[in-house]
Chain A
């Protein structure tokens, strides 16, 4: 029997190893898998490369993982945050590396990673500092740069509902990077507000088919990261 359910966030993140590349879903606080990230802080893996749109808010979630010194490199589009010094302080001190990627290029590199496309050409970033040093080619009369796919050992993703096969639906704009990060990672670890019986998610509305998901854990009442930030909470 196929059963991808884990009994706790702790069990769900147990396989993450030192030096792993981890994709973390969320756009700002929406879709941030706070409970999985906190379980990863407790678990202790270090030397991580994190691929995420942002670099954390406040002193919880991804910001707390960075503050705990577990992250060596961040691949993201917008690491600046008005409410968090976690990334900025370590970046200025030369203790964390940054690969800055235009947001759509980041999304497409992840999608390509999940779809078996090793690289692609795009006009985005041509003539800008972020296009420097990249292989160039004119395609159809338009100057392009070569961008390589991104894959990861693990993804941490927040969904609304899941079943034991790993089929997922998301909630509103919290969907953001979840579907493509599940596709691009070897082990996609998902926290869902509800795990339901197979068939309860209408096959017509499944957003992420279970083949892209390896581990699911129910987190009934997930923290709203933006509220934790407003309240000035920190983890641990």
Chain B
């Protein structure tokens, strides 16, 4: 099954946004997770945190309005909403490590059946190692959501029995949103909560590296 069958990245981000309760402080990882900010359901207020030192991240500035001193963790220009706050790095990571951020949404290279996450290193010997705040986020944020394609570009499973890449954290992931399915990491294993339209569970099992328990509640429609 092609990695691009099923939900688009926008739809995956919208599904994740639907699961974040009103009033939550949220940290979004670089890449697909950034799309979550564009899909907050009407009537819900989320406060976005960026670990370089801002609570209350707003949308990107209009062209020409960029400020080199106002960027996000991906080093892209952002804006600050009314009610925002700036702070230094130790305070920013105290928010993360002290459990004050309710949800983070991250990308991943691999997630294991027990919620181990690998998302910082390809393990290649000539790669320049770089970790950023990923290990702090998964250790300290109360609920860790992962947005990722179900398989690699080469079709290899990213949901696996055991991660083979260097770990970011052990037993830290709560829920995974892929283009094919929404999967919970539960005590009894990986539980499918939802399938993308037109996708059947056997096809998902065929491109998943760990057993999947069918825990659907009957709804199969998209966001």
Which residues of chain B are within 8 angstroms of A125 by Cβ–Cβ distance?
135, 139
Q: Does A175 contact B (CB under 8 A)?
A: yes
The CA-CA distance from A122 to B53 in the complex, in Å, is 21
B interface, over-half SS:
loop
Question: B49-81 interface mask toward A, CB cutoff 8 Å, 1 = contact, 0 = none?
Answer: 011111000000000000111110001000010
The A interface, classified by DSSP as helix, strand, loop or mixed, is mixed
Q: Does B206 contact A (CB under 8 A)?
A: no
Chain A residues within an 8 Å CB radius of B87: 175
- Asked if residues B167 and A78 are in contact (CB atoms below 8 Å), the reply is no
Q: How far is the CB of A89 from chain B (nearest CB, A)?
A: 10
Is A129 touching B167 in the complex (CB atoms < 8 A)?
A: yes
8 extra interface residue pairs, beta carbon distance < 8 Å, beyond A103-B132, A107-B93: A27-B75, A100-B129, A103-B89, A123-B139, A128-B167, A174-B69, A175-B88, A207-B88
Residues of B that sit less than 8 Å from A by CB: 50-54, 67-71, 75, 80, 86-90, 92-94, 96-97, 116, 121, 126, 128-136, 139-140, 166-170
Contact A103 B131, beta carbon cutoff 8 Å: yes
Question: Given the complex, which residues of A lie within 8 Å of B71, measured CB to CB?
Answer: 27-28, 30, 173
Which chain B residues lie closer than 8 Å to A78 at the CB level? Answer: 130-132
User: Are the CB atoms of A28 and B75 closer together than 8 Å?
Assistant: yes
Contact A130 B70 (CB under 8 A): no
Contact with B along A122-147 (1 / 0, CB 8 A): 11111111100000000000000000
Instruction: List which A201-230 residues lie within 8 A (CB) of chain B.
Output: 207, 224-227
Contact between A227 and B68 (Cβ–Cβ < 8 Å)? yes
